[in-house]
Amino acid sequence: MVLFPVLINIPPPMLVDDTADRSYWKDHGGNLQHFHSSQAWDSLRVRNDKVDWVDAVWFSQCIPRHSFHVWLVIRNKLKTQDRMSIGEAGSATNLALMCCPLCAYDRDSRDHLFFQCAYASEVWKTVRDWVDMGNVNNTWDSVMGWLVNSANTRHLGGVVCKILVGAATYYIWQERNNRLFSRLQRSPDILSQVILSSVRLKLMGFRIMKHPDHMKIMDRWQISKKNLTEDPG
């Protein structure tokens, strides 16, 4: 009571002998609900305004690890060289000598890696030709503008674009880390095929309604028509 004087003013619970005890939780709106961990989390979590890109990152058809990575990219939370302190780098000299592991030119950063680096730019130009993103150049601002404008799309073509952006950023970052920590290297052509294969594998699990636009997409990605289902309408 000394530590928490507010407890003095809380009335004791009324016990009913012939009724089983139950745990209740007061939700965010102040209403008593049956206790669930989800209710507790929803009441305790910090709330911010909904961002306009959320549905471009988190959507039902996404690849979760890719979406989590895109979220980190958008928030600029990756451990890129431009965000490393002198203490983390070891010394000011080591920091000054750092350069992009992909192109060996300039220090890597979010905007450099996605996709202004010569290596990443070549990969991006290859993979974007497989989707309707020909007007999205190799700058992160351009990619971000597309994500915001297309966040709520449910059209198959738009969904494939969102999956492709996630795969491209994920594997570019993976290649960067491979070269930095293990010296393994893949050419831009090989990495492009890894990205495209990842997207294609995801599409193979879709059940898609028969529609001329959908059939064109399936043909482009060389996916069997058995994945197409009849339109219930």
∠ CA(84), CA(86), CA(88), 5° rounding? 60
The model's pLDDT over 15-28, given as tens digits with 9 standing for 90+, comes to 788 888 777 777 77
pTM of the model as a whole: 0.77
**Tokens at 27, concatenated:** 């939700």
Residue 233, pLDDT > 60, answer no
With residue 211 as reference, give the H or E element that holds it: none
| pLDDT on residue 160 | 94
The model's pLDDT over 159-206, given as tens digits with 9 standing for 90+, comes to 999 999 999 999 999 999 999 888 889 999 999 999 999 999 999 888
CA 108 to chain centre: 20
The answer to whether 66 touches 164, Cβ cutoff 8 Å, is no
The model's pLDDT over 214-228, given as tens digits with 9 standing for 90+, comes to 888 888 898 876 655
Residue 91, pLDDT > 70, answer no
Tell me the domain boundaries of the chain: 18-47, 54-229
**What does each C-alpha distance from 1 to 4, 7, 199, 214 come to in angstroms?**
5, 6, 59, 66
| pLDDT on residue 86 | 46
Of the candidates 51, 49, 53, 48, the one whose C-alpha atom is nearest the C-alpha of residue 144 is 53
Q: How many CA atoms lie within 13 A of 58 on its CB side?
A: 7
**What does each C-alpha distance from 43 to 4, 33, 47, 195 come to in angstroms?**
21, 12, 9, 39
The model's pLDDT over 114-156, given as tens digits with 9 standing for 90+, comes to 999 999 999 999 999 999 898 899 999 999 999 999 889 888 9
Between residues 61 and 223, which one has the greater pLDDT? Answer: 61
Residue 113, pLDDT > 60, answer yes
